[in-house]
Structure 1
Amino acid sequence: MVIIIGNQKGGAGKSTLTVLLANYLTVTKGCTVTVLDMDYQQSISQKFEKAKILENEEPYQVLAYGLRDFPLMESTIRQNPKDIVLIDLPGKLDDDGLIRVFKAADIAVCPFSYDEFSFESTVPFALVLKKINPDVKVLFVPNRIKANVKYEIKVEVNEQLDQIGFVTGPIGDRIDFQRINTFQTPIAVQAVIVPVFEQIYLDYIQPHL
């Protein structure tokens, strides 16, 4: 199974969400996971290498690749359908290398926030993705949502995104997000991600494993 995590807006939380989902699927669900870090900053790869230096046990493998490398590894990825490959995409749409990755995706996770700029970046990304791969399940994740803020466009945004895919429950903001790494998720962060990830797992991942 191939799950891409993407949005063309920088700062949406793609890489953080990728690590959190990888930690959840391996530690909580016992899944076999490989992370392909295709983001230009490759922050996940850096976290992974740092964890290895500290001699922490690696619950999954992180591999740094560019979009151009994907066609060469696609057949290998598909050898075991029960293995989960998470792909952290670069925050852009103007790269032809995305086409093969989009076509290979079973699920797309799109983190976003309730502001107009985020919404205007999320919709084009999802529409291009669905045009290239009509069968992909697109899951929109409201990310780093502040509990004491009233988001005036929330209802309108959810209604429009629900026409393209499915809007999950929100992931609340926690300062502990800065402490996540590739071998563990802080307890305070687990409290806000588990309800969302459990829903994604039960409804979209488990039925195909």
Structure 2
Amino acid sequence: MVIIIGNQKGGAGKSTLTLLLANYLTQTKKCKVTVLDMDYQQSISQKFEKAKILENAEPYEVLAFGLSDFPMMADTIRDNPKDIVLIDLPGKLDDDGLIGVFKAAQVAICPFAYDEFSFESTIPFALVLKKINPEVHLLFVPNRIKANVKYEIKADVNEQLNQLGHVTEAIADRIDFQRTNTFQTPFNVQALLLPVFDRLFKDFIQPYL
């Protein structure tokens, strides 16, 4: 199956969320995972190469790919439906190469924050995705949420996003997220992620496996 992680808004945390989800699926659920790093910064690929120097066997493969490379992967993905492919998307919507990726996805994860700029980037991403692939399960993940901040637009944002998909529980902002690599997730970070990832796995991933 294909899970895409994307949003037009830079700094939403999609690359980190992709990495954390890959660690969760391989280490906690023992799934076979491949990560396609299509983000322009390719931060996941860089972390993967650095971690290989220090560790032994990699728990999953990370491949640096451009959107134009996806068609040659599509047949392989369709022939291996039990394998999970996570795709970290570039932060834009103006590339026709996204159409094939959107159509291939069973699940889309869209991290966002409760601010005006993030919301205005999230809505176009969701609308375009649903127009291209009406059957995709779209999950909005409130990410890097600060515990001591009152988000006045939270209720209105959740109401609008729930009309397009499903808003998950929030993931709190912690400095420890920066210590995550392709081999491990810090223990205290795992505790923050489990409510979101366990629900994601039970409701949207396990039925495909």
For the criterion TM > 0.5, the same-fold answer is yes
The whole-number CA distance in structure 2 between the counterparts of 1:8 and 1:56 is 35
Which 10-residue stretch deviates more, 72-81 or 125-134? 72-81
C-alpha separation in 2, matches of 1:174 and 1:10: 18
Count residues with an aligned counterpart: 209
* Aligned residue in 2 for 1:88: 88
- Corresponding residue for residue 28 of structure 2: 28
Q: CA deviation at 1:77?
A: 1.1
Q: Which runs of 4+ in 1 moved over 4 A?
A: none
Q: List aligned pairs for 1:1-209, cutoff 5 A.
A: 1-209=1-209
Distance in 2 between residues matched to 1:57 and 1:175, nearest whole Å: 27
For residues 180 and 55 of structure 1, what CA distance do their matches in structure 2 show? 14
Aligned equivalents of 2:38 and 2:77: distance in 1?
15
Amino acid at match of 1:166: H
Q: Structure 1 residue 74: deviation in Å?
A: 0.4
Q: Is the 8 A contact 1:57 1:183 kept in 2?
A: no
Instruction: Give the C-alpha shift of residue 207 in structure 1.
Output: 1.1
Q: Give CA deviations for 1:134-155 in whole Å, capped at 9, x if unaligned.
A: 1001000000111111100000
Separation of aligned partners in 1, 2:43 and 2:54: 17
Pairwise CA distance, 1:55: 2.5
Instruction: Please tell me the residue identity of whatever aligns with 2:57.
Output: E
After superposition, the CA RMSD in angstroms is 0.6
| Deviation string, structure 1 residues 96-131 (Cα, Å, up to 9, x no partner) | 110100010100000000001000000000000000
Q: Which runs of 5+ in 2 are unaligned?
A: none
TM normalised by structure 1 equals 0.99
TM-score calculated relative to the size of structure 2: 0.99
In the TM superposition, residue 53 of structure 1 has moved relative to its aligned partner by 1.0
User: 1:180–1:56: structure 2 CA closer, same or farther, 3 Å change rule?
Assistant: farther
Identity between Structure 1 and Structure 2 (%): 80
